[in-house]
């Protein structure tokens, strides 16, 4: 299923394939499955004896490639380097699915046209999953629990004047599964890891539960607090990266990590860590004529990480600092408000910023800076 949900379309015959055929640069033999598999994880040996790179990292793209269906030669930029793989991680009911669909929806409506992209779903399953989730949100209902252990994937293509530019692959596992491990190994997805979004539920934090004890009594079901300590979410993520993505035990992750504090619509969180708090901090800085004025994202970054520390999550903040080379803190409300049954559409707030930051930073680049 995973394989079926991840492929490229031939620009000539439009047939969809998982991977193009590569041609041996020594003898011209055609290799249909030149990716990490039982023939070899990093290289395959051709019948002629030539060692062929089986991954993107090893510059597989230097080989000539062709469409398996019509045999048309495919340009390098079409088959390599344009895929962005973006997992949305976090504990159970942190709001991963709500975040993903809200963010993708806003991206398609607000960002893609501005950047000159035509956005389209690549496979019918992505399209119907998206439409299903969007119509729930429109009706004021929270997304369904992601309850299968098969990762939910959402493939989005971005084209310019009919030419495929990017294939975005969003990955939204059930919080319980939360292991990219088996699902990715062997499929070669690790080649494309572009960044990660970690959704943090403030109501998973003990201090927050104590602080809003009485409010929570009446809102528990609506907020669906995550039961996994947030420190554990980062440890699991690091474990996955160590086990499957070649991260050393003490090494720094080079892909960007967006840490997104969700559900800030609840109670007074918006004024404490949301954009209202960022506005206030910026205004106070301006009125004090501070010598060095911080940018909005810097203020947000400080505010959210300091608040997490104040809630007793210093270890979480330190772990991120120690293990991730590029990270940023954000806050959002994936649903915009409580899904309290009113039929008014649910509209995410603050969901686009983390996505655009990751896309802007991702190795494939060419998303305009400043996103």
Binding site for Zn ion (CB under 5 A): 10, 12-13, 24, 26-27, 29, 46, 48, 50, 67, 69-70, 72
Query: Cα separation of 304 and 150, whole Å?
Result: 32
Is-contact 9 15, C-beta < 8 A?
yes
| 63-122 binders of Mg ion (CB under 5 A) | 96-97
Residue closer to ligand GTP, measured from CB, 14 or 145: 145
- Tokens at residue 330, please? 């954000």
* Residue 69 interface partner, choices Mg ion, Zn ion, ligand GTP, none, CB cut-off 5-8 Å depending on type: Zn ion
224 binds Mg ion (CB under 5 A): no
338 binds ligand GTP (CB under 6 A): yes
Site string for ligand GTP, 155-194 (x = CB under 6 A): -------------------xx-------------------
Number of CB atoms found within 10 A of residue 29's CB: 13
| 57-116 binders of ligand GTP (CB under 6 A) | 90, 92-98
Site size for Mg ion (CB under 5 A): 3
146 binds Mg ion (CB under 5 A): yes
Which residue's CB comes closest to ligand GTP? 175
Site string for Mg ion, 182-211 (x = CB under 5 A): ------------------------------
Query: Cα separation of 185 and 193, whole Å?
Result: 12
Is-contact 23 65, C-beta < 8 A?
yes
Contact region with ligand GTP (CB under 6 A), list: 6-14, 106-114, 129-137, 260-268:
260-268
DSSP states of 231-269: HHHHHHHHHHHHHHS---TTPPB-S-EEEEE--TTSTTH
Q: What's the min distance (Å) between Cβ of 105 and ligand GTP?
A: 13
Helices (H), the chain: 76-79, 96-106, 124-138, 181-184, 206-211, 213-223, 230-244, 269-273, 275-287, 296-310, 314-323, 352-361
């Amino acid at each position: 299923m995973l394989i079926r949900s991840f492929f490229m379309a031939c620009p000539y015959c439009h047939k969809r394939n998982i991977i193009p055929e590569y041609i041996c640069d020594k003898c011209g033999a055609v290799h249909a499955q030149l990716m990490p598999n039982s023939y070899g994880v990093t290289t395959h040996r051709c019948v002629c004896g030539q060692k062929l790179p089986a991954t993107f990292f090893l510059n597989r793209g230097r080989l000539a490639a062709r469409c398996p269906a019509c045999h048309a030669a495919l340009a390098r930029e079409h088959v390599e380097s344009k895929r962005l793989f973006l997992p949305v991680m976090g504990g159970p009911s942190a709001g991963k699915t709500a975040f993903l669909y809200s963010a993708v929806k806003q991206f398609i409506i607000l960002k893609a046209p501005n950047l000159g992209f035509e956005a389209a779903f690549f496979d019918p399953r992505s399209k119907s999953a998206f439409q299903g989730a969007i119509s729930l949100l429109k009706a004021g209902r929270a997304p369904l629990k992601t309850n299968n252990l098969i990762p939910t994937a959402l493939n989005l293509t971005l084209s310019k004047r009919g030419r495929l530019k990017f294939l975005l692959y969003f990955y939204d596992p059930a919080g319980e599964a939360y292991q990219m491990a088996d699902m990715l190994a062997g499929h070669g997805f690790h080649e494309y890891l572009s960044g990660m979004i970690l959704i943090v539920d403030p109501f998973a934090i003990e201090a927050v539960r104590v602080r809003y004890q009485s409010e929570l009594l009446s809102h528990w079901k609506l907020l669906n607090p995550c039961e996994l300590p947030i420190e554990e979410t980062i440890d699991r993520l690091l474990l996955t990266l160590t086990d499957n993505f070649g991260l050393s035990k003490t090494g720094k992750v080079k892909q960007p990590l967006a840490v997104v504090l969700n559900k800030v619509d609840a109670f007074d969180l918006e004024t404490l860590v949301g954009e209202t708090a960022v506005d206030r901090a910026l205004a106070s800085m301006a009125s004090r004529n501070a010598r060095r004025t911080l940018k909005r994202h810097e203020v947000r970054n400080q505010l959210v990480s300091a608040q997490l520390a104040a809630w007793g999550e210093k270890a979480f903040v330190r772990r991120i600092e120690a293990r991730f080379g590029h990270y940023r803190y954000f806050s959002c409300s994936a649903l915009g408000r409580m899904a309290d049954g009113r039929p008014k559409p649910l509209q995410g707030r603050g969901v686009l910023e983390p996505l655009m930051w990751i896309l802007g930073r991702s190795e494939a680049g060419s998303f305009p800076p400043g996103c």
